[in-house]
């Protein structure tokens, strides 16, 4: 993979994680706030403040970096909603197209499908090195097996006192 593509993959990956952290910290902050309201225990305000601080910090980073996460085909923003029509292959998670794209970018599980143009591409690292390593291991195993067979045939030939050649 080219250096530019690798840098792009890393950037998309960490911006997607910042987006997930933003939503998780918002949910935790709301949950802690509900606990404060139900129990009237002010000790839970510290976790509310921590979750709120994390939310604000991740929101600022997300608002600065998310416009740079764009589809390689149409140039549409992948982590922010746009008002244009969605493609037929666009998928949702909890009713959100951008959340699905965020999860795919954060986990590198599947190729990314642009929700606007439908273009499918794999933003993550190339599997060429792993595939090459596996092929090399298989080749070495085959060579070792071939050597073992040759050695066995040579020993059997020597037992019969005949030259192997």
Distance CA 66, CA 75 (A): 13
Most confident of 18-27, 93-102, 104-113, 115-124: 18-27
Residues 159 and 114 placed together within one structural domain of the fold: no
Q: What is the pLDDT of residue 29?
A: 93
Average model confidence (pLDDT) for the chain?
78
- Indicate if 33 and 102 belong to the same structural domain: yes
Looking at the structure, tell me whether residues 135 and 99 fall in a common domain: no
* 46 and 99 assigned to the same domain: yes
**Among 89-93, 97-101, 102-106, 122-126, which range has the highest average pLDDT?**
102-106
Range of the domain at 150: 127-165
- Tell me: the pLDDT tens digits for 19-75? 888 889 999 999 999 999 999 888 888 989 999 999 999 989 888 887 777 777 777
* Structural contact between residues 98 and 81, judged by C-beta atoms closer than 8 angstroms: yes
């Amino acid at each position: 993979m080219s250096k530019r593509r690798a840098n792009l993959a890393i950037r998309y990956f960490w911006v997607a994680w910042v987006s997930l952290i933003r939503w998780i910290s918002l949910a935790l902050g709301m949950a802690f706030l509900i606990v404060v309201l139900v129990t009237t225990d002010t000790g839970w305000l510290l976790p509310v403040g921590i979750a709120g601080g994390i939310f604000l910090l991740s929101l600022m980073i997300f608002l600065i970096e998310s416009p740079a996460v764009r589809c390689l085909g149409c140039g549409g923003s992948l982590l922010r909603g746009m008002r244009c029509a969605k493609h037929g292959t666009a998928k949702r998670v909890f009713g959100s197209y951008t959340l699905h794209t965020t999860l795919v970018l954060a986990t590198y599980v599947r190729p990314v499908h642009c929700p606007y143009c439908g273009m499918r591409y794999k933003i993550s690292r190339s599997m060429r090195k792993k595939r090459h390593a596996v092929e090399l291991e298989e080749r070495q195993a085959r060579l070792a097996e071939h050597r073992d067979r040759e050695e066995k045939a040579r020993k059997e030939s020597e037992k019969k006192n005949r030259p192997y050649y």
